Structures are given as structure tokens and as C-alpha cells.
């Protein structure tokens, strides 16, 4: 057993057994999508302009190569989201948890994605970002607003999943402080075959 594990670890390290996955970063403008993608790419907090044109980047986390599309979140860009929703292995939906005035708008966008038949089996990671801000919502509050209570989501531990729940889970994070988002990607990884 030790020998098998040793070789598996060595192969993984060498990049064999690498899987790949197509994901999109969605969420309102100013939520932190581009900041997160740059953080995953370069491990740096980068200040950027609002995304006008979709941009694509590959980021490797663990043994998965995530082919990621960062789409703008402003109203006009949201109309293009659907075009990216075929052949997806996951959706990263980011919310600014400190912007209480726009939670309802976020919920509307999230709900319209959740209603799409073609996304029924696609795992959703919902990030409540910017928890470094003192006015940010607590996880329970965000779940209340979104109508995603603990018993309605998949479960953070994929081994103890809620029976019948679709693959969606909420993770609070701060891209700025580099906390929380790794758990979301770890959770998503369990769905990538
Ligand atoms: N305090 C705080 N600010 C953050 C965090 N993550 C992102 N921001 C800031 O939020 C603002 C918006 O971030 P972006 O990554 O450009 O947002 P976006 O979702 O890509 O927005 P669009 O491209 O317009 O759709 C920037 O000023 C970021 O620096 C965080 O964790 N904490
Ligand atoms: Mg952006």
C-alpha cells in the first residue's frame, strides 16, 4: 500500500493524473472575480479595472487545471453569461458580502442561473467575499438572504452530503486577506472526475 501511494504521489507531483475543468467566474460587478483570478494566478492582490471583455486564464490548484473564464458582472456583460454555460464543470459565483444594498440583485442573478436546466448538475461555489470588511454579512445572514440555508445546500464535507441537495455550497472568504477561497476550490475538486 505504501508503495502504491508513494508512486501515486510521485506521479501527481510530476503532473500526471492531472485533471482539467472548465469553470466560469460569475457575480455582480465589483464582487471580486478578477481579483480572485489574479490571486490564484500570481498569489498577489492586484487592483484592476472593471472587466469589459471576458478574459480566460488557466490556474492549477492541486492536481486540477482550471480553465477559467472571468466574465464582467456589469449589466451588459451579464447577458453574455449564458454563452459560457455549456460544458461547464463548475461555477464560481462571487458576492460582495459587505455590499448589503446589492445582495438582492446578486440573489436574482444567482436564482436565474440556478433555474437553468443545463446547469442542474453543475456544482456552484458561492463565495461571500470581503469578510475583512467590518460591515460584511455573517455566513448565516448571507444564507438567509440567498435562501440557501445549511440544510438546503450540499454540505461542506462532501462525504456527509445532504440527501437530495443539489451541488451548491456557500463559503465565506476574503481574497484580500487570502482566506476562505481554498476551501471552496477544495470542495469543487471533489466533483471533478
Ligand atoms: N476589502 C476587500 N476588497 C476586495 C476584496 N476582493 C476584491 N476587492 C476589491 O473589490 C473591487 C472589485 O474587484 P474586482 O475583482 O475588480 O471585481 P469584479 O467582480 O471582477 O468586477 P467586474 O469586473 O466589474 O465584474 C476592487 O477594488 C478590489 O480590490 C476583498 O477580499 N476585500
Ligand atoms: Mg472583473
The residue assigned the cell 471583455 is: 53
Residue 47 clears pLDDT 80, i.e. is over it: yes
Q: Supply the pLDDT for residue 12.
A: 61
- Per cent of the chain over pLDDT 70 is 91
Q: Supply the pLDDT for residue 11.
A: 63
> What's the average model confidence in pLDDT over 112-126?
95
For the purposes of burial, counting CB atoms within 10 Å of the CB of 44, is it exposed (0-12), middle (13-18) or buried (19 or more)? exposed
Residue 50 clears pLDDT 90, i.e. is over it: yes
18-189: CATH topology is Rossmann fold (3.40.50)
How many whole angstroms from 77 Cα to the centroid of ligand 2? Answer: 11
Query: Mutation test of ligand 1: which of 28, 32, 91 has the most ligand atoms closer than 8 Å to its C-beta?
Result: 32
Residue pair 132/174 in contact by the 8 Å Cβ criterion:
yes
Q: Whose CA is nearest to atom 3 of ligand 1?
A: 130
Interhelix angle 139-146/103-114, nearest 10 degrees:
60
How many whole angstroms from 31 Cα to the centroid of ligand 1? Answer: 5
- Quick one: which atom of ligand 1 is closest to the CA of 52? 23
Residue pair 169/156 in contact by the 8 Å Cβ criterion:
yes
Domain boundary assignment for the chain: 18-189
Amino acid at each position: 500500500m505504501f508503495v502504491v501511494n508513494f508512486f501515486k504521489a510521485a506521479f501527481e507531483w510530476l503532473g500526471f493524473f492531472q485533471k482539467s475543468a472548465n469553470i466560469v467566474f460569475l457575480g455582480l460587478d465589483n464582487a471580486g472575480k478578477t481579483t480572485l483570478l489574479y490571486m490564484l494566478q500570481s498569489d498577489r492582490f492586484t487592483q484592476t479595472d472593471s472587466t469589459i471583455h471576458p478574459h480566460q486564464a488557466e490556474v492549477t490548484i492541486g492536481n486540477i487545471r482550471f480553465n477559467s473564464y472571468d466574465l464582467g458582472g456589469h449589466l451588459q456583460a451579464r447577458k453574455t453569461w449564458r454563452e459560457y454555460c455549456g460544458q461547464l464543470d463548475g461555477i464560481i459565483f462571487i458576492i460582495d458580502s459587505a455590499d448589503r444594498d446589492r445582495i438582492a440583485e446578486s440573489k436574482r442573478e444567482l436564482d436565474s442561473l440556478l433555474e437553468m436546466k443545463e446547469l442542474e448538475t453543475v456544482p456552484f461555489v458561492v463565495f461571500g467575499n470581503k469578510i475583512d470588511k467590518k460591515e460584511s454579512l455573517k455566513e448565516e445572514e448571507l444564507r438567509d438572504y440567498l435562501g440557501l440555508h445549511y440544510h438546503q445546500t450540499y454540505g461542506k464535507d462532501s462525504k456527509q452530503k445532504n440527501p437530495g441537495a443539489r451541488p451548491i455550497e456557500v463559503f465565506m472568504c476574503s481574497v484580500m486577506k487570502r482566506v476562505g477561497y481554498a476551501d471552496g476550490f477544495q470542495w469543487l475538486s471533489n466533483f471533478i472526475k
